[in-house]
Chains A and B, each alone.
Chain A
Amino acid sequence: AQSVTQLGSHVSVSEGALVLLRCNYSSSVPPYLFWYVQYPNQGLQLLLKYTSAATLVKGINGFEAEFKKSETSFHLTKPSAHMSDAAEYFCAVSLTGNQFYFGTGTSLTVIP
């Protein structure tokens, strides 16, 4: 079965520090992977997606993620955290039939 695991339900970083949110996938076929961000009382907004064209994917708001097949990982990074990055982040994998499987989410806190 295809799924994703997000390590760390809560991550805190200082403003200006590196953001690293972890996502590992299990897949029997080449996966399509996505990162979404959710701000309080809002829907999910697509940050970036991996579709096998390039292993390093750049997204919106300065985020990027690197697909590493050997590690079955798709970690999300941002070089310098901003207060506005505080939100819930979800990794997702595309299943057959256009269905997504979401990870359990990571809540990012940015400390001033």
Chain B
Amino acid sequence: AQTVTQSQPEMSVQEAETVTLSCTYDTSESNYYLFWYKQPPSRQMILVIRQEAYKQQNATENRFSVNFQKAAKSFSLKISDSQLGDTAMYFCAFIDNNNDMRFGAGTRLTVKP
């Protein structure tokens, strides 16, 4: 069964600095998709970035980038120039062709002024 592990329950970073959130997953499939979602307090889940497993190039969205290591089954999220609005729960998620999206337990990120 596919599992997603986020080993950092909480992290904090100073405004304008860089932080990396870790995620590992387990699957026997070769074709799948990985996502990072952000869930601000009491607000809805928002897609931050996505990565197709068949693409070797790491995805980038403005200040957000990933380090996708397929062999190691690792998918970390780097947030550059952290902003106060980045404070949220961050969930790593995995989906293959079974339509069953699996989420990690989340990392609570606090950006400090």
- Asked if chains A and B come from one complex, the reply is no
Residue ranges of A at the interface with B (Cβ–Cβ < 8 Å): none
Residue ranges of B at the interface with A (Cβ–Cβ < 8 Å): none
